[in-house]
Amino acid sequence: MANEFAVEMQDVLKQFVTPEGGILSAVDHVTMQIKDGEFFSLLGPSGCGKTTSLRMIAGFELPTSGKIMIKGNEMSQVSAHQRPVNTVFQQYALFPHMTVEQNIGFGLEMKGVGKAERSARVSEALEMVRLPGMEMRRAKQLSGGQQQRIALARALVNKPEVLLLDEPLGALDLKLRKEMQLELKTLQREVGITFIYVTHDQEEALTMSDRIAVMSKGKALQVGKPEEIYERPANKFVADFIGETNFMDGIVKGQNGKVVVVDLPGSGEVRVESSRTFTSGQQVSVAVRPEKLRLNHEIEGGNNLKGRVEDVIYIGTDTHYGVRFPGGHKLRVREQNIKQSQKELARADDEVTVGFSTTSPRLLTE
Ligand SMILES: Nc1ncnc2c1ncn2[C@@H]1O[C@H](COP(=O)(O)OP(=O)(O)O)[C@@H](O)[C@H]1O
Ligand SMILES: [Mg+2]
């Protein structure tokens, strides 16, 4: 393999002048490496710099400083249409009165590809997106989901090394969106093209990606596999943005090897395993997922905090309990409703224990 990385961003900065005359760093010194054949997602809230990153990779914007490499080649002197990438946007912008074949084959025609080859490649692209034989339909006669597939076929027909997708499913309703997520993932595996996928939807990113970069305010806060990002978030933003997390503020009392003792003032002490070293008196946030907590179920050798139930919410698959501790700390506990006629484990105002192992929480400092 010539180059292990499909795309590299090296210390990329992109600044814009704001309408008020200030300077905004839309992408703020981002370094990341996207492997060949990977399904890689840029995930973060609106305005965090996802589209700007994608536009720089595509060549529609140039970095203020830093480098972009595609397949090992530096891109600053390479124009957008010379780069081995194609982009699929949320607004798929098909030509409504043209046929599917004309829409998909348009770019090839511009490049001077002959009719016979064009037609063969369009058919092949239509097979890939599971719409074989649709060549003669008009774009405007297609449903939203079909139009998005055509937009995808239009990008795939160029056989790019890298496909850039900017919230491509954003316009679809939830059910179709879920179907298309699985299809896109399967398609990516089949064609083996590197996908860089932009989304603000954490569940979508977890479902589809080999790796995810979580972005906030122009910075890439953490890059990792879905389970790494979920199980070992690097900071509070990532822990909060991906899934649901409880945070309890505490003060480190001491550390014995891997086990850190944290005082939650007024609510008790917890012991948490960590590979990091903490100092006594240090402020930390004990971050723990609701599904890792057990209600009224002692965890031997773990933490068992006594508190009072504030609210109970039944949501079918699970029941959620809000438990308040004497020092004001609160935990949301999620219990799966496994038995058919599961009784609530507790009711509002009940005194309960919340149990969790020493390996369940993360100690976060930023
Ligand atoms: N051409 C531009 N001129 C000025 N500001 C821009 C321009 N493009 C993007 N921005 C700003 O850069 C920030 C990041 O935008 P964007 O990359 O579109 O975010 P995202 O795709 O994550 O929602 C936003 O604050 C946005 O307003
Ligand atoms: Mg965007």
pLDDT digits (tens, 9 = 90+) for 108-134: 998 899 999 999 999 999 999 989 999
Class of 5-240 per CATH?
alpha beta
Q: Is 49 in the pocket of ligand 1 (CB under 6 A)?
A: yes
Give me the residues paired with residue 249 across strands: 285
- Please give the pLDDT value at position 93: 80
Flag whether pLDDT at 1 surpasses 90.
no
- Please give the pLDDT value at position 3: 64
48-102 pLDDT, tens digit each: 999 999 999 999 999 999 999 999 999 999 999 999 999 998 777 889 899 999 9
- Please give the pLDDT value at position 244: 93
* Residue given tokens 């949301």 in the structure block: 332
* Residue given tokens 């080649």 in the structure block: 73
Q: Which of 37-41, 178-182, 271-275 has the lowest mean pLDDT?
A: 178-182
- Contact yes or no for 100/135 (Cβ under 8 A): yes
- Contact yes or no for 357/302 (Cβ under 8 A): yes
Q: Where are the domains of the chain?
A: 5-240, 244-364
SS3 25: strand
- Contact yes or no for 154/128 (Cβ under 8 A): no
Flag whether pLDDT at 226 surpasses 70.
yes
Distance (Å) from CA 49 to ligand 1 centroid? 6
Best of 13, 15, 16 for a ligand 1 pocket test (most atoms within 8 Å of beta carbon): 16
CATH topology of domain 244-364: OB fold (Dihydrolipoamide Acetyltransferase, E2P) (2.40.50)
In one-letter notation, the amino acid at residue 271 is R
Distance (Å) from CA 51 to ligand 1 centroid? 7
Flag whether pLDDT at 314 surpasses 60.
yes
Contacts of 197 (CB under 8 A, 6+ apart): 39, 40, 41, 42, 165, 168, 184, 205, 208, 209
For ligand 1, atom 25: residue with the closest CA: 47
Distance (Å) from CA 52 to ligand 1 centroid? 6
Cα(194)–Cα(84) distance, rounded to whole angstroms?
11
Q: Decide whether 5-240 matches 244-364 in CATH topology.
A: no
User: Which residue, among 144, 153, 201, has the nearest Cα to 172 in the 3D structure?
Assistant: 144
- Please give the pLDDT value at position 341: 66
Q: Which residues surround ligand 2, an ion (CB under 5 A)?
A: 51
Beta-strand pair 85-89/162-166 = parallel
Cα(325)–Cα(291) distance, rounded to whole angstroms?
18
Q: Which of 116-130, 166-180, 250-264, 265-279 has the lowest mean pLDDT?
A: 166-180
Beta-strand pair 39-43/194-199 = parallel
Q: Which of 153-157, 175-179, 337-341 has the lowest mean pLDDT?
A: 337-341
- pLDDT confidence of 145, banded at 50, 70, 90? confident
